[in-house]
Amino acid sequence: MREIIIFRHGETDWNREERFQGHIDVPLNDTGREQAAQLIPRLRSIGIDAILSSTLSRAMETAEIIARDLSVPIFRDGDLREAHLGEAQGLTRTEIEKRFGLLARQWRSWNVSDADVFYPGGETGGQVSARAFSAIERFLDLNPFQRVGIATHGGVIRRMMQKVLPLGSEPVPIPNGILYRLEFNPNSRAWNARKL
């Protein structure tokens, strides 16, 4: 069994404004840097061996703050970037709900039947989880690390947790700086969620 400790990047100014970033590269703000630093004691006690990060700067900076303190290597993979939100990128939550209505509610839904919903020009939740799981499995297949931290984004974590948790599970909260523990069995290729 390999352990994955997946965590969301610290806050950005756009998070504070409830402006959807998607693939737009927005840096951490001071609160976000503090949130990244607050993850260090928990990740130290868990004992991660390495960090695999999204290539977007908000995730990379979160990973760098943690890795510097824990003296672990950082690896990058663009497949861990946030969902591409197409025409919704750069808009606030209010603007998105006004412009896209039902589509906005379906995109944010915890219902797995909404995994194929996408904003015009964007990708589906199913595409997001598929590329994220693929990136992590590819990394684990090529590296010996037993316990890996994953620095990524709220949409990626939400879509991954939807796949790993049993059907009918309650939605999990995904604020900036949250972390969850997953297990991956390299023989069966099965994923499971574990309590921290």
The Cα 159–Cα 180 span in angstroms is 13
Known catalytic residue at 84: no
- 11 counts as catalytic: no
How far apart are alpha carbons 162 and 75 in whole angstroms?
A: 25
Closest CA to 99 of 83, 87, 115: 87
Catalytic residue of the set 3, 61, 82, 123: 82
Radius of gyration of the chain (CA): 16
Q: Name the catalytic one among 9, 11, 84, 153.
A: 9
**Element (DSSP H or E) covering residue 4:** strand 2-8
CA distance 2 to 191: 10
CA–CA gap between residue 109 and residue 117 (Å, rounded)? 10
Q: Which residues contact 4 (CB under 8 A, 6 or more apart)?
A: 136, 147, 148, 150, 181, 182, 183, 184
For the annotated catalytic residues, the residue numbers are 9, 82
